[in-house]
């Protein structure tokens, strides 16, 4: 299997995707754990292993102090680090913007010699949300498995159901988009290849602006991350803010790794980790109001005008 960064021949890429899916299907049939174990994730973790020891922490936010870039949090016992207590933690701007008193979060604690410890990899951890995400993940897993070699959803088929988190840390399910057109793609925030994700996002924004200008109503723009390990809600929030993206109808979604993997499989997007870089293909899709995949463009050569025209018809 070869992965291609820039494909002018979308068809060939789609065939590549199908070949991969056939391989995946076969591995299911053989009971191999190729997809389930998410081989790419662990390799990447090793490569990017931080030198400072980090500790998983759960807690409830007591207060948010934006000026100090910190929160007060009542944390549960952190094995090997400290007992349960209420203390100050520093947070990145995106996480801070999402933080609210009373919220349950989980994160990785990074100790500091000079001041308050820092929280990274911050995820919402409210019970109900966790349950919805987990259910969504296992339903999608079963669905991908059941579809086997037909996991890839062609134009004309319904989009899969899912439960993910948006850039505000809110759980969003596929139901949220029912009755709306959805323009959907897959990107990741650290993508270093200018004419891949950065261009893709810029064009989605163009499409969003053009749709608004042309009076297209009831359309949502959705970018799902290829890299949920890094792209937490807070990271996505900063990504959108840095680009001045109007998030009133543009969501950046992330969530359980396996859920993202299954969506990639079902939408026919291929990714492969090379150290910290993800080699991947691009697909931009238009989903109609009843949830049917109406159109897809493989590669980076689609035009915002074309998509907006299709939204109008």
Residue with Cβ nearer Cu ion (87 or 277): 277
20 binds Cu ion (CB under 5 A): no
Angstrom distances, CA of residue 55 to CA of 106, 142, 221:
11, 32, 35
Residue with Cβ nearer Cu ion (69 or 279): 279
286 binds Cu ion (CB under 5 A): no
> Contact at 8 Å (CB) between 259 and 162?
yes
Under 8 Å CB-to-CB from 171, ≥6 apart: which residues? 124, 129, 132, 133, 163, 164, 165
204 binds Cu ion (CB under 5 A): no
Residue with Cβ nearer Cu ion (96 or 197): 197
> Contact at 8 Å (CB) between 163 and 255?
yes
The number of C-alpha atoms within 13 Å of 194 and in the hemisphere containing its C-beta is 0
191 binds Cu ion (CB under 5 A): yes
Q: How far is the CB of 276 from Cu ion (least distance, A)?
A: 12
Distance from C-alpha of 41 to C-alpha of 39, rounded to nearest angstrom: 6
259 binds Cu ion (CB under 5 A): no
Using the contact rule CB under 5 A, the part of the chain among 8-16, 176-184, 194-202, 299-307 near Cu ion is 194-202
Q: Which residue has the tokens 């990274």?
A: 120
Residue with Cβ nearer Cu ion (47 or 84): 47
Residue with Cβ nearer Cu ion (241 or 279): 279
H or E stretch including 312?
helix 304-312
197 binds Cu ion (CB under 5 A): yes
196 binds Cu ion (CB under 5 A): yes
Q: How far is the CB of 227 from Cu ion (least distance, A)?
A: 9
H or E stretch including 304?
helix 304-312
Sites of contact with Cu ion (CB under 5 A): 191, 196-197
């Amino acid at each position: 299997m070869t992965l291609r960064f820039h494909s002018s021949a979308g068809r060939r890429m789609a065939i590549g995707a199908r070949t991969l899916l056939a391989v995946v299907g076969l591995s299911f049939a053989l009971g191999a754990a190729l997809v389930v174990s998410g081989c790419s994730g662990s390799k990447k973790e090793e490569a990017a292993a931080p030198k400072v020891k980090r500790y998983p922490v759960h807690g409830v936010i007591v207060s948010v102090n934006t000026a100090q870039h910190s929160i007060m949090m009542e944390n549960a016992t952190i094995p090997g680090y400290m007992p349960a207590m209420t203390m100050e933690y520093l947070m990145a701007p995106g996480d801070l913007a999402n933080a609210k008193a009373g919220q349950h979060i989980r994160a990785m604690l990074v100790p500091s010699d000079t001041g308050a410890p820092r929280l990274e990899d911050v995820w919402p951890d409210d019970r109900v949300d966790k349950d919805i995400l987990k259910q969504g993940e296992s339903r999608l897993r079963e669905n991908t498995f059941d579809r086997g070699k037909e996991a890839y959803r062609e134009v004309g088929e319904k989009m899969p159901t899912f439960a993910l988190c948006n850039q505000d840390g809110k759980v969003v399910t596929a139901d949220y988009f029912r009755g709306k057109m959805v323009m959907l793609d897959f990107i990741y925030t650290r993508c270093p290849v200018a004419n891949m994700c950065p261009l893709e996002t810029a064009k989605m924004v163009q499409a969003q602006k053009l749709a608004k200008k042309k009076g297209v109503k009831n359309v949502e723009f959705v970018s799902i991350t290829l890299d949920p390990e890094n792209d937490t809600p807070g990271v996505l929030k900063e990504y959108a803010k840095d680009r001045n993206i109007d998030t009133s109808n543009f969501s950046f979604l992330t969530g359980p790794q396996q859920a993202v993997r299954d969506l990639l499989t079902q939408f026919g997007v291929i990714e492969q980790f090379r150290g910290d870089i993800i080699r991947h293909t691009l697909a931009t899709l238009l989903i109609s109001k009843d949830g049917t995949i109406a159109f897809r463009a493989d590669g980076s050569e689609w035009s915002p005008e074309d998509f907006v025209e299709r939204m109008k018809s």
